[in-house]
């Protein structure tokens, strides 16, 4: 049955930081004029954005994006929502720029996600199944942000942006999600033991933001992962997102660890990360180096075994950059953020390219989020074995709880995603 775009509207809504973002609603009609599909989607936004991401909003911000929706609608009117690729190409054409700065990558990604949701609803199937068909049965391991600092918290918090727990031993998604919340609680009490003045402060993603340096935070965090692993009887491994581009000072040619009062050149940065991987058996390290340093990424990746080296700002969900990384052996994992590239088709292409080359795709939220749950479906539908979407907080649990529902709906067919190692 055909489902034709017959309505598109946009509004300004709040994100989790209280900043404005865009939400769109799309309606699809049958040929006879009956409503057969509906999709609503909102775009997130980053604080530690990569330099090579698409531009989120046009010059006038969200208000301008909302104003432009009628012009966009006029050009999409009559398109069939099942033709995701064609509609995404049309969105790019309407914008007309490479980095989508005219109408904004957040505008295009919200529309693109709403199109996918309307297509799923018109086919009377959940989005994950619409995308991945009957093969979409793998639940992602949740990468839970437990403790952090950097661009997501105040200045006395650690320089490292995210300390991330990965419950690799969990048999079910629901157990994995609750394991992360246990680590989160445990870390709070460990911080309180160490710092009697801790007020319970959190960063943008609900991770604790204590007055601790990197190594003290790493000690507490990895100990908490071990304690909760013992308690639950399955393994929870530690990971980090260094978000190194936020730390890099191009003039000095060094990584600036403000909280620690240390500067590290590239060689020292690689040593620092290698040491952390070895001494704490890290399972996952994201953006250990700045966003354009493919070669140093490769140097680090060559030296590690059984640790995912994931590129976020390095790849920005962009197939050209991922291809370059693959050629140079820069990493072994790709962070996937739909709004870095602006469309569902661009997101699918990035996941496929990663998978074809043995790079583990990690679906991801942004630090500024809404309660939109689309990425939960994308993770299952596109077969990403890991999702980074926080641990607590309404905008984070929106995705986690959706995955719990998906796991329940899949019943006997549900399984955990395929990790390259554990």
Could you list the active site residues?
205, 337
Query: How many binding residues for Mg ion (CB under 5 A)?
Result: 3
Give min distance, CB of 164 to ligand 2PG, in A. 9
Task: Out of 226, 312, 373, 395, point to the residue binding Mg ion (CB under 5 A).
Answer: 312
Which residue, among 111, 99, 36, 123, has the nearest Cα to 70 in the 3D structure? Answer: 111
Q: How far is the CB of 269 from ligand 2PG (least distance, A)?
A: 17
Cα–Cα distances (Å) from 100 to 343, 354, 369, in that order, read 10, 23, 20
Nearer to ligand 2PG, 29 or 106 (CB): 106
Q: Does 182 bind ligand 2PG (CB under 6 A)?
A: no
Residues binding ligand 2PG: number (CB under 6 A): 12
Bridge-based pairing state of the strands 262-264 and 360-364:
unpaired
Q: Where are the beta strands (DSSP E) in 149-187?
A: 162-166
**Residue closer to ligand 2PG, measured from CB, 47 or 375:** 47
Q: Show the CA angle centred on residue 141, arms to residues 148 and 337, nearest 5°.
A: 65
Cα–chain center distance at 163: 15
Regarding 202 and contact with ligand 2PG (CB under 6 A), the answer is no
Q: Are strands 141-148 and 138-139 parallel, antiparallel or unpaired?
A: unpaired
Of 388, 372, 400, nearest to 336 by C-alpha is 388
Residue nearest to ligand 2PG (CB): 46
Identify what 367 binds: ligand 2PG, Mg ion, none; CB under 5 to 8 Å per kind: ligand 2PG
User: Looking at 177-292, which runs of residues are DSSP E strands?
Assistant: 237-241, 248-249, 254-257, 262-264, 284-286
- In angstroms, give the least distance from the CB of 401 to ligand 2PG: 19
Q: Does 48 bind ligand 2PG (CB under 6 A)?
A: yes
| DSSP per-residue codes, 80-147 | BTT-HHHHHHHHHHHH-STT-TTT-HHHHHHHHHHHHHHHHHHTTS-HHHHHHGGG--EEPEEEEEEE
Choices 1-9, 323-331, 362-370, 392-400; region in contact with ligand 2PG by CB under 6 A: 362-370
> Any idea how long the chain is?
422
Closest separation between CB of residue 135 and ligand 2PG, Å? 27
366 binds ligand 2PG (CB under 6 A): yes
46 part of the interface to ligand 2PG, by CB under 6 A = yes
Stretch that binds ligand 2PG, among 63-71, 89-97, 262-270, 360-368 (CB under 6 A): 360-368
Residues in CB range of 402: below 8 A, 6 or more apart? 373, 376, 377
The whole-angstrom separation of Cα 365 and Cα 412 is 28
- Interface residue with Mg ion among 23, 241, 291, 372 (CB under 5 A) is 241
Judged by CB under 6 A, which stretch of 5-13, 41-49, 125-133, 410-418 contacts ligand 2PG? 41-49
243 lies in the site for ligand 2PG, by CB under 6 A = yes
Q: How far is the CB of 35 from Mg ion (least distance, A)?
A: 39
Stretch binding Mg ion (CB under 5 A), from 55-63, 67-75, 309-317, 377-385: 309-317
Secondary structure (3-state) at 422: coil
Q: Residue 220 to residues 143, 215, 276, 292, 414: CA-CA distances in angstroms? A: 18, 9, 13, 32, 33
Say which entry of Mg ion, ligand 2PG, none residue 361 contacts (CB below 5 to 8 A, set by partner kind).
Answer: none
Choice from 23, 159, 241, 373 touching ligand 2PG (CB under 6 A): 241
Q: Which is nearer to ligand 2PG, 81 or 384 (CB)?
A: 384
407 binds Mg ion (CB under 5 A): no
Stretch that binds ligand 2PG, among 40-48, 61-69, 168-176, 210-218 (CB under 6 A): 40-48
Considering only 68, 95, 291, 312, the residue that binds ligand 2PG (CB under 6 A) is 312
Report in angstroms the alpha-carbon separations of 104 from 69, 288, 368.
11, 29, 16
Element (H, E) at 8: strand 4-14
**Which chain residues interact with Mg ion by CB under 5 A?**
241, 286, 312
**Which chain residues interact with ligand 2PG by CB under 6 A?**
46-49, 162, 205, 241, 243, 312, 364, 366-367
């Amino acid at each position: 049955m055909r489902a034709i775009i017959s309505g598109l509207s946009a509004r300004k809504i709040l994100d989790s930081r209280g900043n404005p973002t865009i939400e769109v609603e799309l309606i699809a009609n049958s040929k006879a004029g009956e409503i057969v599909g509906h999709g609503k989607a909102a775009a997130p936004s980053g604080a530690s954005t990569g330099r090579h991401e698409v531009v989120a909003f046009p010059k006038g911000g969200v208000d301008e994006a909302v104003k432009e929706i009628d012009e966009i609608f006029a050009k999409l009117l009559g398109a069939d929502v099942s033709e995701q690729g064609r509609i995404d190409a049309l969105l790019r054409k309407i914008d007309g720029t490479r980095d989508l700065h005219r109408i904004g990558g957040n505008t295009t990604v919200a529309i693109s996600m709403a199109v996918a949701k309307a297509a799923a609803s018109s086919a009377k199937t959940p989005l994950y199944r619409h995308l991945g068909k009957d093969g979409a049965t793998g639940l992602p391991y949740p990468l839970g942000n437990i403790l952090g600092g950097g661009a997501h918290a105040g200045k006395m918090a650690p320089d490292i942006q995210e300390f991330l727990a990965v419950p690799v031993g969990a048999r079910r998604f629901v157990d994995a999600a609750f394991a992360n919340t246990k680590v989160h609680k445990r870390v709070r009490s460990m911080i309180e033991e160490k710092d009697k003045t801790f007020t319970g402060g959190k960063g943008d993603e609900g991770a604790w933001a204590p007055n601790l340096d990197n190594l003290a935070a790493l000690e507490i965090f990895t100990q908490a992962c071990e304690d909760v692993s013992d308690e639950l009887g399955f393994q929870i491994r530690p990971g980090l997102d260094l978000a190194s581009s936020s730390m890099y000072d191009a003039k000095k040619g060094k990584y600036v660890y403000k909280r620690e009062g240390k500067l590290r050149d590239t060689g020292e940065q690689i040593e620092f990360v290698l040491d952390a991987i070895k001494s704490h058996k890290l399972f996952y390290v994201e953006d250990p180096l700045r966003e354009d340093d493919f070669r140093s990424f490769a140097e680090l990746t060559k030296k590690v075994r059984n640790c995912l080296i994931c590129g976020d700002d390095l790849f920005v969900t962009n197939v050209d950059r991922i291809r370059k990384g693959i050629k140079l052996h820069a990493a072994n994992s790709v962070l996937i953020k739909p709004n870095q590239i602006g469309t569902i088709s661009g997101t699918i292409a990035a996941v496929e390219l990663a998978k074809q080359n043995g790079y583990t795709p990690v679906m991801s939220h942004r630090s500024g989020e809404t309660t939109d749950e689309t990425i939960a479906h994308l993770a299952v539908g596109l077969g990403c074995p890991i999702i980074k979407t926080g641990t607590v907080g309404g905008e984070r649990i929106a995705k986690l709880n959706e995955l719990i529902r998906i796991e329940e709906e899949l019943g006997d067919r549900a399984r955990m995603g395929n990790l390259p190692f554990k």
